[in-house]
């Protein structure tokens, strides 16, 4: 038996799985209340609520980073203010008496897509989630890429323009600062403040979905926002192909659902910036298959792999 945990800024999801099954025998979802004290206690109570009578072999956790999967430590996740250098893995292991395995939520989504979803049957995979931010996961020769510090595959922080806008991490010009939902909305708001005409109105709560709807109604600013995002995304992915040479590229996250608005300029930019077109031969480019369950299923896959 495996207990899998997906820690989010809004909710904590926990599920228990029997061997060789991806259907939980018990599951729960509780508010993270991430800005309030007691997140670990809420997490522990959620685990207790699904803990099965049968022997549990391990706990797997998908969590926002940055983190150290080798020590089970959350280094400094912006979603949970009280978790700085927080040893969530050792603390859960002590409390429940089983091994605990932790990794980045985007890595876990990539692992899940490889094991159970769109990437089944592939040996080299790049997964990108495009939503509020941009995250990634990489499988190389059937191995999850983690790196010497466990912080590999931070694909959202690839620099595509050193003079570009600030990323959420504070540095300039990362692909997240151009192509995430947050970045697309910020660009539209900046252009509106500069006097650009649009059916959209300046709004700090403006979403990529609203901008996509405007683009589908031929709003020029909205269209240009996705063209810009797709252009830089193609540039970043050209870099990823040169580094990892995957056989499949999987896109997840809400912004990836806008379709051709983003992916037509992306494909044009990718061809423009790619080192050699041979990278594209037989390359599968597709959408993620697991939706909101990717984090949980990645945590499940990680725990099964490490506990075996």
* 136 has pLDDT over 90: yes
- Please state the rounded mean pLDDT for residues 37-46: 94
* Residue 148 is assigned to a structural domain of this protein: yes
The arithmetic mean of pLDDT across residues 127-138, rounded, is 95
132 and 93 in one domain? no
The DSSP string of 272-287 is HH-S-GGGGTT-EEEE
pLDDT of residue 81: 84
Whether residues 134 and 228 share a domain: the answer is yes
Coil, strand or helix at 257 = helix
- Structural domain for 187, as ranges: 118-288
Residue 153's pLDDT is what?
A: 94
In a domain, 113, yes or no: no
- Does one domain contain both 186 and 283? yes
Q: Is 89 within 8 Å of 63 (Cβ atoms)?
A: no
CATH of the domain at 248: 3.30.420.40
Catalytic residue among 105, 161, 163, 245: 105
Give kind and range of the element (H or E) at residue 143.
Answer: strand 143-144
213 classed as catalytic: no
137 with 93, same domain: the answer is no
Same domain, residue pair 126 and 81: no
What is the Rg, in whole angstroms, of the alpha carbon atoms belonging to the chain?
Answer: 20
- Please give the share of the chain, as a percent, with pLDDT higher than 70: 100
> Are residues 95 and 122 located together in one domain of the fold?
no
With respect to residue 198, please indicate whether it lies within any of the assigned structural domains: yes
Instruction: Tell me: do 78 and 203 sit in the same domain.
Output: no
The pLDDT value recorded for residue 79 is 79
37/124 same-domain check:
no
Identify whether residues 138 and 73 lie together within a single domain.
no
**DSSP SS3 for 25:** coil
pLDDT tens, residue by residue, 162-191: 999 999 889 999 999 999 999 999 999 999
Q: Has this prediction a pTM greater than 0.75?
A: yes
Cα angle 206, 212, 216 (rounded to 5 degrees) comes to 140
DSSP-derived secondary structure letter, 253: S
Question: What token pair was written down for 6?
Answer: 């997906």
Burial of 125 (0-12, 13-18, 19+ CB in 10 A): buried
Q: Please, what is the average pLDDT of the chain?
A: 95
Q: Are residues 158 and 224 in the same domain?
A: yes
pLDDT surpasses 90 at 9: no
pLDDT at 217: 96
- The answer on 93 and 48 residing in a single domain is yes
Check if the beta carbon of residue 231 is closer than 8 Å to that of residue 184: no
Domain for residue 108, yes or no?
no
Paired sense of beta strands 134-140 and 248-252, if any:
unpaired
User: In a 10 Å sphere around its CB, with 0-12 CB exposed, 13-18 middle and 19+ buried, how is residue 144 labelled?
Assistant: buried
Which pLDDT band holds residue 78 (cuts at 50, 70, 90)? confident
Domain for residue 110, yes or no? no
Question: How does pLDDT run across 240-291, given as a tens digit for each residue?
Answer: 999 999 999 999 999 999 999 999 999 999 999 999 999 999 999 999 999 9
Q: How far apart are CA 288 and CA 27, in angstroms?
A: 22
Q: Is residue 112 part of a domain?
A: no
Region 32-60: what's the mean pLDDT?
A: 93
Has residue 191 been placed in a domain? yes
Q: Which pLDDT score is estimated for 77?
A: 84
Give 308's pLDDT tier (boundaries 50, 70, 90): confident
The count of domains in the chain is 2
Q: Is the pLDDT of residue 34 over 90?
A: no
Quick one: which of 233, 299, 294 has its CA closest to 268? 233
pLDDT at 147: 94
Q: Are residues 58 and 142 in the same domain?
A: no
């Amino acid at each position: 038996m495996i207990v899998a945990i997906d820690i989010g800024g809004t909710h904590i999801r926990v599920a228990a799985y029997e061997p060789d099954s991806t259907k939980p025998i018990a599951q729960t979802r509780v508010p993270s209340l991430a800005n309030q004290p007691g997140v670990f206690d809420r997490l522990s109570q959620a685990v207790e609520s699904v803990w099965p009578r049968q022997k549990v072999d391990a706990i797997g956790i998908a969590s926002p980073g940055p983190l150290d999967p080798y020590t089970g430590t959350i280094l400094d996740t912006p979603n949970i203010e009280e978790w700085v250098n927080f040893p969530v893995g050792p603390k859960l292991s002590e409390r429940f008496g089983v091994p605990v395995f932790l990794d980045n939520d985007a890595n876990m989504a990539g692992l899940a897509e490889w094991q159970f979803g769109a990437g089944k049957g592939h040996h080299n995979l790049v997964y990108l989630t495009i939503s509020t931010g941009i995250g990634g996961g990489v499988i190389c020769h059937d191995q999850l890429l983690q790196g010497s510090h466990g912080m590999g595959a931070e694909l959202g922080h690839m620099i595509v323009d050193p003079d570009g806008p600030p990323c959420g991490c504070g540095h300039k010009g990362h692909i997240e600062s151009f192509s995430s939902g947050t970045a697309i909305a910020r660009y539209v708001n900046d252009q509106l403040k500069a006097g650009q005409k649009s059916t959209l109105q300046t709004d700090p709560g403006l979403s990529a979905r609203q901008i996509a709807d405007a683009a589908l109604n031929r709003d020029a600013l909205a269209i240009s926002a996705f063209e810009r995002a797709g252009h830089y995304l193609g540039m970043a992915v050209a870099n990823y192909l040169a580094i990892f040479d995957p056989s499949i590229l999987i896109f997840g996250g809400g912004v990836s659902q806008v379709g051709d608005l983003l992916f037509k300029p992306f494909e044009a930019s990718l061809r423009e910036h790619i080192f050699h077109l041979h990278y594209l031969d037989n390359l599968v480019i597709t959408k993620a298959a697991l939706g909101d369950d990717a984090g949980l299923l990645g945590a499940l896959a990680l725990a099964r792999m490490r506990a075996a």
